[in-house]
Chain A
């Protein structure tokens, strides 16, 4: 039980990589990449968690109540938004690849001079 979040993070990382390696469609590979990214968020937040602690927002609880680590939350929340934007860039590249090659299957790319 004390290692369950780390196991889940490692499992998601490997499963996402398996999806990218055996993918037959570029859009499917981009979504699997976002699964890999989410495994890192789980690992970060699991490292900073303190059992019995509350959220590190002191608007309604007095300063000094036990709270979880704010640094990992700060790292993760910018990471989520930026990760989605980079996935959008990869999707745009996939659309352009389809325009030039006629297929989204990485097994069937041909060069433009064929």
Chain B
């Protein structure tokens, strides 16, 4: 049990560092989705199933989805040739 907890904590720390060190936002969305799953596993180790359910539903699905949609809009705007001064 102790080994499991230590392993999960180190994995979470590594995951968070990986999310920050990934500079391209599109790659970062995938890494953030994985980080959300690892956090959900950690919340299960903390004996908090409500919180784990919340985190997996939000951090692995909803948040990366909105990031990718925002990036798609930015890419579409950039493809037309940038700044628009109205």
A interface residues (Cβ-Cβ under 8 A, vs B): 1, 4-5, 8, 11-12, 15-16, 18-19, 24-25, 27-28, 30-32, 34-35, 38-39, 41-42, 45-46, 49, 53-55, 57, 67-68, 73, 76-77, 80-81, 84, 87-88, 91-92, 94-95, 98-104, 112
Q: Which of B41-76 contact A (CB under 8 A)?
A: 42-43, 46-51, 54-55, 58-59, 62-63, 66-67, 70-71, 73-74
Q: Which of these, B32, B47, B58, contacts A54 with CB under 8 Å?
A: B47
Residue of A nearest to B85 (CB): A112
Main secondary structure of the interface of B (DSSP, over half): helix
Residue of B nearest to A39 (CB): B16
Judging by beta carbons under 8 Å apart, are A35 and B16 in contact?
Answer: yes
Residue of A nearest to B22 (CB): A28
A95 to B46, CA, bound (A): 37
Q: Which A residues touch B24, using CB under 8 A?
A: 25, 28
Interface size class of B (residues with CB under 8 A): 35 or more
Q: Which B residues touch A112, using CB under 8 A?
A: 85
Q: Give the distance to chain A from B71, nearest Cβ to Cβ, in Å.
A: 6
B interface residues (Cβ-Cβ under 8 A, vs A): 2, 5-6, 9-10, 12-13, 16-17, 19-21, 23-25, 28-29, 32, 35, 39, 42-43, 46-51, 54-55, 58-59, 62-63, 66-67, 70-71, 73-74, 77-78, 82-85
Judging by beta carbons under 8 Å apart, are B25 and A35 in contact?
Answer: no
Judging by beta carbons under 8 Å apart, are B59 and A80 in contact?
Answer: yes
A8 to B70, CA, bound (A): 30
Residue of B nearest to A38 (CB): B39
| Given A19-B20, A81-B58: A76 touches B12 (CB 8 Å cut-off) | no
| Given A8-B13, A27-B71: A73 touches B50 (CB 8 Å cut-off) | yes
A95 to B50, CA, bound (A): 33
